[in-house]
Each structure stands twice: as C-alpha cells, then as structure tokens.
Amino acid sequence: MKTILHITTPSAWQTAQEAGQYTLPSLATEGFIHCSTAEQVVPVAQRFYKGQRGLVLLILDSDRIRPEVRWEPGTDKPDELFPHIYGALNLDAVTRVVEFEPDANGDWTLPAL
C-alpha cells in the first residue's frame, strides 16, 4: 500500500459521503484531483493553505483508488512528482480522515498518520 494525502474541508468530505464519490472543481478545470505524499503535504499546505483553518487530510490507499493515478511534475516544482487522481475518487480508497490544523503561528506540521 502506498499512502497519498489530499487536503480538503470537512464540508467537501461530507458532500462526498452524501454523493458516494469525491470530486472537486479541479477535476473539471484541470482534469485531476491534486494529492501529495507525506513528505510533500506540509510544504503544499504552507504554500496554498496559508491562513486557513478547519481542514482535514484524506489518507488514501493508492492501491484502492479506481481512477488512474499519475505521478507528474508540480507546476512550480518540475523536478518533483506529485500524485494526481484522474477521475472521481471512490470513497473506499479513503482509509482515514485526520484533522489538519496549523499551529498558533500559522505553520503546518504533519499529524500522526
């Protein structure tokens, strides 16, 4: 099992549970759902989620993900490959949902996985 992570909101996760699959606007606009490895998720949060609170991490088992997962260069990090899910995420690939909050200074740390 290869674990990959996705940052989202509790409301987006709730909507996915009601719909039976997880989708995002990026699926329509970019063709995929952005994900990260455990090593990548904190720098991603620092860059794209600064000042946000109330987020969660979806912990995904990549072996269970039904749509294609491609490892592709990041737009600002062409030498680093990020996992991208090319389709609606099946909920049984989500093994856990973990609170993901910055500290009092706004800095992110990886929670226990």
3-state secondary structure of 57: strand
Q: How confident is the model at residue 108 (pLDDT cuts 50, 70, 90)?
A: very high
Residue 21: half-sphere exposure toward Cβ, Cα within 13 Å:
12
Q: What percent of the chain has pLDDT over 90?
A: 81
3-state secondary structure of 51: coil
The model's pLDDT over 17-39, given as tens digits with 9 standing for 90+, comes to: 999 999 998 898 999 999 999 99
**Does the pLDDT at position 46 exceed 70?**
yes
102/98 Cα distance (integer angstroms)? 13
Residue 33: half-sphere exposure toward Cβ, Cα within 13 Å:
24
Bridge partners of 104, per DSSP, are none
**Are the C-beta atoms of 74 and 80 separated by less than 8 Å?**
yes
**Are the C-beta atoms of 49 and 7 separated by less than 8 Å?**
yes
Question: In the chain, what are the domain boundaries?
Answer: 6-31+56-69+91-102
* Residue 77 identity (one-letter amino acid): K
What tokens were used for 18? 């009601």
